[in-house]
Amino acid sequence: MDHLENSNEESENQAQTLGQPLSDFLLQLEDYTPTIPDAVTAYFLQTSGFEPKDPRLLRLISIAAQKFISDIANDALQHCKMRSSNASSSHSSSKGKGTKDRRYCLTMEDLTPALAEFGITIKKPHYYV
């Protein structure tokens, strides 16, 4: 019986968490400026025929796009950090270089495995000048 009640409560909570954010979250977007400018998002949405009058809908899409890129870039950065720490530990472990002044440069070598985790296969052809 307890178990049943618990599951009922859980499903109620879940219904709240799934339905609630939509309305609440939109209100929060009123005074939030995403990194991708509204005009840019609006332009690309218009190219596919989507023209929302409410700017909050634009912002919702901007934030989703920003999160999409941010997640991928963060993953790629972790790959980059792991690669550089492996390289430095195998090459110059005796020198004991400070890790604070390390500069991270994102390359396709980092991006490819990060994208693979998201199910995106990327193959850039070599470019010869």
Tell me if 44 contacts other proteins by CB under 8 A.
yes
**Residue list 95-124, contact with other proteins (CB under 8 A):** 103-108, 110-111, 120, 122, 124
Q: Which is nearer to other proteins, 40 or 82 (CB)?
A: 40
Determine the residue type at 32: Y
**Residue list 74-93, contact with other proteins (CB under 8 A):** 74, 76-77, 80
∠ Cα 14 16 17 (to 5°): 65
Binding other proteins (rule: CB under 8 A), the pick from 6, 13, 33, 92 is 33
Q: Which is nearer to other proteins, 7 or 35 (CB)?
A: 35
- Burial class for 76, CB neighbours closer than 10 Å (0-12, 13-18, 19+): buried
∠ Cα 47 75 101 (to 5°): 120
Binding other proteins (rule: CB under 8 A), the pick from 13, 70, 85, 86 is 70
Stretch that binds other proteins, among 4-12, 51-59, 84-92 (CB under 8 A): 51-59
Assigned token pair, 22: 């939509």
Angle between helices 2-28 and 55-91 (to 10 degrees): 100
Binding other proteins (rule: CB under 8 A), the pick from 9, 10, 16, 21 is 21
